[in-house]
């Protein structure tokens, strides 16, 4: 089957993730949408890795997963810290720089 099927699916998933970042107000759902975008990029990496018969793309997916895990740990800690001071994780209500 042509590789373009996987790339188009990856593009659709990435767009849905970007749309989620734009339209949702819940900071946790925004984080989940970012994860969706990372997964879409990973899918394209693995598809091209299979197409060209090299493992380098899969190694990159491995690194992307590590960075995503680190990002989620720090990001969720930030959300918890914001929730402690603001008592909300609605991104519309977190609009002032002064705590």
Interface residues with another protein (CB under 8 A)? 1-9, 11-20, 22-26, 28-29, 31-33, 35-36, 39, 42-43, 46-47, 49-51, 53, 55-56, 58-59, 61-63, 65-74, 76-81, 83, 88-90, 92-93
Q: How far is CA 74 from the centre of its chain?
A: 14
Q: List, in order, residues 6 or more apart from 17 with CB less than 8 Å away.
A: 33, 34, 35, 36, 37, 40
User: In terms of CB distance, is 73 or 98 closer to another protein?
Assistant: 73
Cβ neighbour number for residue 21 with a 10 Å cutoff: 16
State the minimum distance, in angstroms, from the CB of residue 96 to another protein: 14
């Amino acid at each position: 089957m042509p590789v373009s099927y996987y790339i188009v699916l990856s593009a659709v998933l990435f767009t849905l993730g970007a749309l989620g970042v734009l339209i949702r107000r819940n900071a946790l759902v925004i984080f989940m949408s970012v994860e969706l975008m990372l997964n879409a990029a990973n899918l394209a990496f693995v598809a091209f890795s299979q197409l060209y018969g090299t493992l380098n793309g899969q190694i990159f997916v491995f690194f992307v997963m590590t960075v995503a895990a680190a990002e989620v740990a720090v990001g969720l800690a930030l959300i918890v810290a914001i929730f402690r001071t603001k008592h909300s994780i609605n991104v519309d209500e977190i609009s002032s720089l002064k705590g």
